[in-house]
Amino acid sequence: MDLGLKGRTALVCASTQGLGEATARTLAAEGANVVVCGRSGDRARQIAGELPGAIGIAADLLAADGPERLVAAATNALGAIDVLVLNGPGPRPKAATDVTAQDVTEAVDALVRPQQRLVALTLPAMRERGWGRVLAIGSSGVAAPLPQLASSNLARAALAAYLKTLAAEVAADGVTVNLLLPGRIGTERVARLDAAAAERTGRSPAEVAAESRRTIPAGRYGRPQEFAAAAVFLCGAPASYVTGVALRCDGGLIRNL
C-alpha cells in the first residue's frame, strides 16, 4: 500500500526513544522527511543521521516558548509541517486520592498546553494546502482510566476531548485529527511503571510484568514497531476518511468496543 507520505514533512514530538522514535523511523521508511526532536539534541541528531531526509532538533516543549522554537526550526529546515505527531512523557504514577493541585497543573502543562500550541502553530498551513494529519500518541487510559495513573488519565482525557472537537472543525479542509492509544508496549516508560508497581507491592518487576501479560488477550507486551505501523497508517493518504477516532493498539487489553 502506498501511504502517500513521500516528500511530506513530519514533526514527531518526543521522538528520541520509545513510541515516538519508532514512529519517526517508520515515517522515514515511508519516504517522509522527519523532524526528530527531544530534550537531548545529541540523541535527536544521532537518530536523524540514521534516517534519510531527517533532521534532529533539541526541544523542550515545557519551556514557555518551546513549541514556537521547535516549529520555527522545523519549518526553516524542511518547510511547512504536513504531519504533526503529538507525544510527551506521562506524569508519575499516583492514586486519585493523592493528586494535588500542583500535580494537575504539571500534568496539563506537560500533556495539554504544548500540544494545543503545536496544533495552533501548524494547522493554518495544513488547512491552506488542503491536506494535513494531526495524530496524538495517547494512552489506553483515555478509553478506560488506569489505576494509579490519575494525573495521566486526567490530562490525556482533556487532550482527547480537545482533539475530538477539533477533528469536526477541520475535516472539510482535508485535515484529519486522531489519537492512537497504546496499551502495554515494551518501552522504557512501561518498564518504569512496572518497577513502580513492584516497589508499591513488594514484588519483583518480573512478577509484575508477568501478571500484566496475563491480563492481555494477546498474552504479551506489544512491540514499538507494531504501534508505529498503525500510527503511520493514520498519517497516510489512505486514511483520509478516518478522523476524530481514538484507535487502540493494546492486544485486546481494554475489553469494551
pLDDT, one tens digit for every residue, the chain (257 residues): 899 999 999 999 999 999 999 999 999 999 999 999 999 999 999 999 999 999 999 999 999 999 999 999 999 999 999 999 999 988 989 999 999 999 999 999 999 999 999 999 999 999 999 999 999 999 999 999 999 999 999 999 999 999 999 999 999 999 999 999 999 999 988 998 899 899 999 999 999 999 999 999 999 999 999 999 999 999 999 999 999 999 999 999 999 88
Whether residue 222 contacts residue 230, with contact meaning beta carbons closer than 8 Å, is answered with no
How many CB atoms lie under 10 A from the CB of residue 129?
13
Phi, psi angle pair for 20, to nearest 5° = -65, -45
Whether residue 32 contacts residue 5, with contact meaning beta carbons closer than 8 Å, is answered with yes
Phi, psi angle pair for 65, to nearest 5° = -110, 20
Q: Please give the pLDDT value at position 188.
A: 87
Phi, psi angle pair for 218, to nearest 5° = -70, -15
Those residues whose C-beta lies under 8 Å from the C-beta of residue 169, and which sit 6 or more positions away, are none
Task: Measure the CA dihedral 42/110/140/136, to 10°.
Answer: -70
Whether residue 76 contacts residue 1, with contact meaning beta carbons closer than 8 Å, is answered with no
Q: Please give the pLDDT value at position 8.
A: 98
Rounded-to-integer distance, Cα 179 and Cα 39, Å: 23
Cell numbers at 197, concatenated = 508497581
Rounded-to-integer distance, Cα 34 and Cα 12, Å: 7
Residue 198 φ/ψ region, left for φ over 0, alpha for ψ in the -120 to 50 degree band, beta for the rest = alpha
Cα separation values, 42 from 33, 37, 82, 210, Å = 19, 10, 25, 35
Q: Please give the pLDDT value at position 135.
A: 98
In 3D, which of 184, 181, 193 has the Cα closest to residue 215? Answer: 184
Q: Please give the pLDDT value at position 168.
A: 98
Those residues whose C-beta lies under 8 Å from the C-beta of residue 121, and which sit 6 or more positions away, are 67, 68, 71
Q: Please give the pLDDT value at position 193.
A: 87
Q: Please give the pLDDT value at position 89.
A: 86
Q: Please give the pLDDT value at position 90.
A: 85
Determine the distance from the C-alpha atom of residue 228 to the mean position of all C-alpha atoms in its chain, rounded to a whole number: 10
Return the bridge partners of 177, or none. Answer: 134
In 3D, which of 243, 228, 142, 155 has the Cα closest to residue 186? Answer: 228
Amino acid of residue 145 = P
